[in-house]
Amino acid sequence: MQLDHDLQSVQEMRGAVERAKEAQLKYMTFSQEQVDEIVQKAAAAAYAKSLQLAQMAVKETGMGIVEHKKIKNEVGSMAVYESIKDEKTVGIIREDRVSKVTEVAYPYGIIAGIIPTTNPTSTAIFKALIALKTRNAIVVSPHPRAVKCTVEALKICSEAAVQAGAPEGLIGWISQPSMGATNELMKHRDVNLILATGGGGLVRAAYSSGKPAYGVGPGNVPCYIEKTAKVAKSVSMIIDSKSFDNGTICATEQSIVVDRNIKEMTMREMRNNGAYLLNNEEKARLEKVISPAPGKLNPDIVGQYARKIAEMAGIAVPESTRVLVAEETRVGKDIPFSIEKLSPIFALYTAESYQEAKEICLKLLNLGGRGHSLSLHTNDEEVAKDFALEMPVSRLMVNTLSSIGAVGATTGLMPSLTLGCGSFGGNITSDNVTARHLINIKRLAYGIKEVSIPKPSPSSFLTEKEDTGKQDVDHIVDQVLQQISPTGEVDAKMIAEMVDQVMQKYQTN
């Protein structure tokens, strides 16, 4: 029964959180040297199993390419390890002797990790490593279509960590995931931070859970080939990037925008690199496969080979076909080629001017990829700087493969499988999320400036009420004096009445 599965899933989650809490309290006492040894052993173990995990992921999910998933596992393990191994995450991490400020790191506690079906093993390894590096515990909710491979990746990291001295339970998971258990995990009283990678609904749920959360938005990456680009080299990289793991990385190029005067050369190079250019009839048939309903992506095409997707639309393509391309002029939710497709399918836009190219890129980003990434091929540094200043994205990859460049494989960006989209995309950070995002910092600050605090003047002690009362009494006394006769004689009865007024005034105030 479905009810039984849900109950088992929730109970398993609660048990994992309980064990994680106990383990994390012990892990809090570990030194930087102990933590670094544990992280190194876990990363090495995951790296050694990169191929096996890639095979499991492709078999279970039916998405992607084994050789490419192996590369992603290597990035998620050893590349991530190399990028964080020298970071201080325990105790005093920085001392400014001039300003006399000392910074001390402390962990969040228990992290809820949400893993996508498109990059299940690499993301699981990555999140486990950055949690270990920061003395946090992590409990993972895998995608239901990628449970076995995700749990296996976590087991490899966990076993290696325990053998290196880590407390058991520091890395936990739900082996029977359900939406109910995932939602309860994110709201669990003992969970301190959410690290969510997945669909828009899950990310929104993470941000609305009432917990601190790192979530990532969708990518609808435009790729602009500007007229100064080395077209042959650029197109070769773009096709390699788009076909990498069959387009499952969220930073993969989704649409190409090309200047009119290099369009024919670009299309020729596309054909030379395994692109199949659809005619109008084929384009119409493929549109129905991409998006059966306006704005909705067909999950059956995600991470599939171009040939298989073409077959789904009844289109015969050569065996050598790596990507499918159709010319497009419009952008919108009801325009299937313009949305994020997570598969080796391209829309091709022609720009009559540089300004129009920017406008097309902006429209594509506004459709669904604001804050994420943009790919640019140009030899004009001013163009690159202009795009950096104007485009609402968090990372711009220039003259490289956008898919793996965004995660740090071909660029100097921080290796990461969780790419923040900043305020443009409704995220808390625009960074490639890594270990430094999983620690809090407390600061010890000594006084270094002498400040003279001025003493208040005596008149400052007179309250507004007292001051008003004094003015009223003075007015009454003036009236008394005015009643004194020119000869100096005083009307005793009048004076008595006036004094009585003064007394009543003080008594009421």
Q: Which residues are catalytic?
A: 250
- Residue 477 identity: V
* Other CB atoms within 10 Å distance of the CB of residue 33: 9
Closest CA to 313 of 342, 293, 339, 292: 292
DSSP label at residue 75: I
Q: What stretch of H or E contains 439?
A: strand 439-445
Sign (positive or negative) of CA dihedral 161, 162, 166, 170: positive
Quote the Cα angle for 408-409-411, to 5°.
Answer: 60
Cβ-in-10-Å burial (0-12, 13-18, 19+) of 51 comes to middle
Mark residue 262 as left, alpha or beta (left: phi above 0; alpha: psi -120 to 50; beta: remaining): alpha
Longest distance between any two alpha carbons in the chain, whole Å: 128
What are the DSSP calls for 376-422, one per residue?
Answer: EE-S-HHHHHHHHHHS-EEEEEESS-HHHHTTTSSSSSPP-S-B--T
Closest CA to 80 of 461, 484, 435: 435
The tally of CA atoms less than 13 A away on the side-chain side of residue 120 is 29
Rounded distance, CA 68 to CA 65, Å?
5
- Pairing mode, strands 213-215 and 193-196: parallel
